[in-house]
Amino acid sequence: MYLESPKKFNMLVEQAHQVALNVLRPVSRKYDKAEHTYPKELDMLASLLDGMNEGAPGSAGATSATGGGAKDNTGEIKNGANLSTVLGVIEMCWGDCGLLLAMPRQGLGNAAIAAVANEEQLERFKGTWAAMAITEPGCGSDSAAIRTTATKDGDDYILNGEKIYVTSGARADSVVVWATLDKNIGRAAIKSFVVKHGTPGMQVTRLEKKLGIKASDTAAITFTDCRVPAANLLGSPEVDVQKGFAGVMQTFDNTRPLVAAMALGVARASLDRTRELLKDHLSPNYSKPMLTASHAEATLNRLEAEWEAAKLLTLKAAWMADNKIPNSKEASMAKAKAGRVGNELTLKCVELCGAVGYLEDELLEKWARDSKILDIFEGTQQIQLLIIARRLLNKTSAELK
């Protein structure tokens, strides 16, 4: 087992770190205070990332999470796009998590397209910026409880319903909408549709004010007799009761490691800054025995260990996706661990730094606020633990609720 990051991704990681340091960090506080203002600095950066994506095995954004590894001439599968993307996301979120989420053409909806779309759709939606709309007013963590409907009408589907908490919902070119073809069938009838902004019947009704990630817009969207081409249904239109909605759920197997990587990036930023602020009270290179270390030093060492464990779980989940190994359990383990560690670590860093960490003179208080959402969206901590239990005990969702 190799626990180090693949050397071939070193340049990508360094590029992502430089972007985080020189582009994202300098404007981080600016857009935290100017909620709902589009970060115009991201346009040039997004174009740069598009160039990095072109023909590359992976890059720092959700568009690369395709779930496929590249085989060499020996038939072995190498480290691929999912792993490289996770490594890039960690670095970018070391800069600013909200700004990464606001990055054009790097939305979580892009990962949904990559996970489920057929070859024709992958080509047709190439270059689009896609948000992802799952949550509804009466449907939170239970994605199977979706009530937005999609009714077949000739060569189209007609969508009716409301989606909330849509990240980049107002800014993105398109929204990947989860809807059911038949409420009576249950989760097996849930499919995802790509709906372009400007489609009649689709309306952004409000933008949410949030605790953190304020650089990213979060929208509520209604669909009223919204007509969408049948060709925009991602994957197969057939309802397979035996398979359930494993097709659309495969999206989460791609995106949960990405969210875990976001939490790792924010947590790493907090650890690094705390060590800088407390450097006069810490022994160099972890040289002091734990029994003689100060409380602050012992706490930071423990948090470092938790961070490393979360990182290894995240890299494993991404590596499994690259090698086409089912990773639902591992993706949830990574998301649960990294989400919890990110919350605890960022708050502890604020605590250890006292008033310095609590004031807006430092980004520590911002990172603590940003980290909370990373344990909530893409499935809460409790939902991840439930999924892990189902996989370990070989229970269905009906058997273990």
258 and 224 share one domain: no
Q: How far is CA 232 from CA 163, 170, 235, in A?
A: 18, 19, 9
CA distances from 171 to 136, 216, 350, 367 (A): 19, 9, 32, 23
Residue 180 domain flag = yes
Beta-carbon contacts of 246 under 8 Å, excluding residues fewer than 6 positions away, are none
Question: Which amino acid, one-letter code, is at 15?
Answer: Q
CA 178 to CA 173: how far, in whole Å? 17
273 domain-assigned: yes
Are both 254 and 363 inside the same structural domain?
A: yes
Using one digit for the tens of pLDDT, what is the confidence trace for 377-391?
988 999 999 999 999
pLDDT digit string, tens, across residues 34-60: 999 999 999 988 887 776 555 443 333
Of 123, 365, 378, 399, catalytic: 378
Distance between CA atoms of residues 199 and 121, nearest Å: 18
Residues 346 and 211 reside in one and the same domain: no
Is 398 within the bounds of a domain?
Answer: no
- Looking at the structure, do residues 134 and 115 belong to the same domain, yes or no? no
Q: Which of these three, 124, 147, 182, is where a domain ends?
A: 124
State the pLDDT at residue 184.
87
401 residues of the chain, pLDDT tens digit each: 577 888 999 999 999 999 999 999 999 999 999 999 999 999 988 887 776 555 443 333 444 454 444 444 455 667 888 899 999 999 999 999 999 999 998 777 888 888 888 999 999 998 899 999 999 998 877 777 899 999 999 999 999 999 999 999 999 999 999 999 998 887 889 999 999 999 999 999 999 999 999 999 999 999 999 999 999 999 888 887 655 555 566 778 888 999 999 999 999 999 999 999 999 988 887 777 877 888 899 999 999 999 999 999 999 999 999 898 999 999 999 999 999 999 999 999 999 999 999 999 999 999 999 999 999 998 899 999 999 999 999 998 889 98
Output the domain CATH number for residue 60.
1.10.540.10
Specify the pTM.
Answer: 0.91
How many angstroms separate the CA atoms of 255 and 82, rounded? 10
- Domain with 375, as residue range(s), is 249-393
Report the domain count for the chain. Answer: 3
142 CB contacts (<8 Å, ≥6 apart)?
Answer: none
Q: What is the pLDDT of residue 17?
A: 96
Asked if the structure places residue 401 within a domain, the reply is no
DSSP string, 170-234: TTSSEEEEEEES-TTT-GGGEEEEEEETT-TTEEEEEE---SS-TTS-EEEEEEEEEEEEGGGB-
Tell me whether residue 378 is one of the annotated catalytic residues.
Answer: yes
- Shared-domain flag, residues 370 and 356: yes
Do residues 114 and 138 share a domain?
no
Residue where one domain finishes, among candidates 80, 102, 124? 124
Q: Which residues of 264-274 are buried (b: 16+ CB within 10 A; e: fewer)?
A: bbbbbbbbebb
Q: Among 91, 124, 157, which residue terminates a domain?
A: 124
* Residue 165 domain-assigned (yes or no): yes
Among 80, 1, 111, 113, CA closest to 322: 80
Is residue 221 domain-shared with residue 263, that is, in the same domain?
no
Q: Are residues 257 and 356 in the same domain?
A: yes
